[in-house]
Each structure stands twice: as structure tokens, then as C-alpha cells.
Amino acid sequence: MVAQGSIGAEILKTDELYTAWIAISDLFLDTELKRSDIKFIVRRLAETAFSEEQLTEFYLYDVAPVCHINALPPHQVESGWHLIKSG
């Protein structure tokens, strides 16, 4: 068991945070999520020590601002390419 406040505890906390972020980011994949995908994401989040409130904050403030572009239709993601001048 790792003593609270030790470097080992901080590493475990960081690993759990990355696990939560990656699981939440799976919600933004460009493929249709199946029920089994959702269950897998929920299982990974449940295995962390974070509360539902913390996970919601990670979704809103950490993951969604970075991954939200994946939820846009392709024509919106690619808009602006015509503005780039070549040569």
C-alpha cells in the first residue's frame, strides 16, 4: 500500500486521471458507439477513484474542449482549407 502524499500515490493518481481522460475521449470517436462500447467506457470510469462530479468536470473542462472537433460533421472540420494559399 502506498502512503498518502508520497510520490507513488501521485503517480497512481496521475495514471487514474489519464485512464479517465482516455475513457471519456472515447465518447468523441468518429465511429458510432455500440452498447458494448459504452459499457466498456463506464467500466473503465468506475474503476477509477473519481466521483461522478469529478468525471463530469473532466468531461466538460479537460476532454471536450480538446476532442469536440471530432463530433463535428466532416464538412465543418475541413472548412477553412480553401483559405490556405499555396506557393
Distance CA 59, CA 46 (A): 15
Task: Say how many CA atoms lie within 13 Å of 22 toward its Cβ.
Answer: 10
Q: Are the C-beta atoms of 19 and 48 separated by less than 8 Å?
A: yes
Q: What is the pTM of this model?
A: 0.69
pLDDT per residue as tens digits for the range 2-57: 344 554 555 557 889 999 999 999 998 878 899 999 999 999 999 999 999 999 99
Q: Is 44 exposed, middle or buried (0-12, 13-18, 19+ CB in 10 A)?
A: middle
**How many alpha carbons fall within 13 Å on the CB side of residue 23?**
21
